[in-house]
Amino acid sequence: MRANTPLTLTEEDIDKIRGINVLLDMDMVEDTYLPLSRLLNLHVQGSHQLATVTDTFLGAPPTPVPFVIGVAGSVAVGKSTTSRVLQELLARWPHHPRVELVTTDGFLFPNRVLEERGLMDRKGFPESFDRRGLLDFVASAKSGDDHLETPVYSHIAYDIVPDEVRVLVRPDILIVEGLNVLQAGHSGAFVSDHFDFSIFVDADPAHIRKWYIERFLTLRDTAFTQSDAYFRRYAGLSDEEAAKVALDIWERINEVNLVENILPTRERASLILEKAEDHSVQLVRLRR
């Protein structure tokens, strides 16, 4: 399904994209992500043609707006790696070189707000996000605003960075990656209303639990050792102690969020990537 689409990523590129403990190699990129980039490119072209038709009908000058892709899935499922691979591949297609990736972590409420509301143990749940701020950001992007700003989140400090923003200038494609980006409700507008295409990265919950624990053990030896790390208290744990803590966090927080909030949004996606235990994509489900 890639047709004659060339593979322009190198092994060095893939090394930079790969997430923590996420297996990603050239074969995976060529078998799954390259054909997906072609599909997305076709959707981008179709979207631009439709926008031109609408502008012509309205008698309005063409107004370029970004093609917005939503990427959802559990903690530790590899959705960040999927998003980065697609960002790199899509930026190499003609006509849309400016591909920006925004994660919803920047729209989490600051820790002080979460503490005031008793939500620190529900960080990542829908109520822990500034959903209005995220909706306004994506709506502004789809309105063709030239200047977009997003808050900055530090995974080391585990908090929003005060008085710091990231500026995006008229992207051709905007990828929005996050746990609950496909969530909807009974009334009002939702972030997913502004998506042109959406992807859900899926896997057996038992595999995701394993990946989460493995990632926690890796972070214990790397990011957690930094002097300003929020989770520095875990840096000195033994393998057994760290695995026990990770399992507890998974069962109390991440698994609950997965079952209650994330999995119910899976069928709303345009495309579902089902991953095997080695992170390879074993099945692709495309909504027609």
User: Class of 11-286 per CATH?
Assistant: alpha beta
Amino acid at 253: I
Question: CA–CA separation, 143 vs 61, rounded Å?
Answer: 14
Contact of 200 with 82, CB cutoff 8 Å: no
Q: Where are the domains of the chain?
A: 11-286
The pTM of the full predicted model, rounded to 2 decimals, is 0.94
Structure tokens at 124: 């990542």
**pLDDT, one tens digit for every residue, the chain (288 residues):** 877 777 888 888 888 888 777 788 888 889 999 999 999 999 999 998 888 888 889 888 888 899 999 999 999 999 999 999 999 999 988 777 899 999 999 999 999 999 999 999 999 999 999 999 999 999 999 988 988 999 999 999 999 999 999 999 989 999 999 999 999 866 678 999 999 999 999 999 999 999 999 999 999 999 999 999 999 999 999 999 999 999 999 999 999 999 999 999 999 999 999 999 999 999 999 998
What are all long-range contacts of 99-102, with beta carbons under 8 Å and residues at least 24 apart?
Answer: 99/171, 99/172, 99/173, 99/174, 99/175, 100/66, 100/168, 100/171, 100/173, 100/174, 100/175, 101/175, 101/177, 102/137, 102/150, 102/166, 102/168, 102/174, 102/175, 102/176, 102/177
Structure tokens at 139: 């709506």
